[in-house]
């Protein structure tokens, strides 16, 4: 387990070592095809803007679904936005 933890720590360090977060002071509205327009608070926007979260845009959430449903293209970033929105409504 320590080997995996070391690899994860190295990966995060590589991705965030030169990252300087923007000074976000206002909420941001992000539009979602399922949940509509959603307001994200400044602290949420800071996290969503991080390179380690932005990389989720390149990872499919549905893998083989587009072969059956061509419009079924969703990525892990979109999923993260939805989870963030729904968890805020709890």
Backbone angles phi, psi at 46, to 5 degrees: -60, -45
Residue 9 included in any domain: no
In this predicted model, what pLDDT tens digit does every residue of 26-77 receive, in sequence order?
A: 999 999 989 999 999 999 999 999 999 999 999 999 989 989 999 888 899 9
In this predicted model, what pLDDT tens digit does every residue of 12-25 receive, in sequence order?
A: 999 999 999 999 99
| Domain count of the fold of the chain | 1
User: What pTM was estimated for this model as a whole?
Assistant: 0.82
How far apart, in whole angstroms, are the C-alpha atoms of residue 34 and residue 47?
Answer: 22
Backbone angles phi, psi at 80, to 5 degrees: -60, -40
Nearest to 77 by CA among 44, 46, 55: 55
Residue 2 included in any domain: no
- For residue 44, the enclosing domain spans 22-88
Q: Which residue has the tokens 């709890």?
A: 90
Residue 36 included in any domain: yes
Residue 83 included in any domain: yes
Residue 44 included in any domain: yes
Residue 7 included in any domain: no
Per-residue pLDDT, 20: 94
């Amino acid at each position: 387990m320590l080997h995996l933890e070391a690899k994860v720590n190295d990966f995060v360090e590589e991705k965030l070592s030169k990252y300087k977060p923007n000074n976000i002071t206002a909420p941001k509205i992000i539009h979602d095809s399922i949940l509509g327009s959603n307001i994200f608070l400044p602290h949420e926007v800071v996290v969503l803007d991080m390179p380690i979260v932005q990389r989720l845009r390149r990872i499919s959430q549905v893998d083989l679904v587009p072969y059956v449903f061509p419009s079924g293209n969703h990525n892990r970033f979109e999923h993260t936005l939805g989870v963030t929105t729904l968890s805020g409504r709890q």
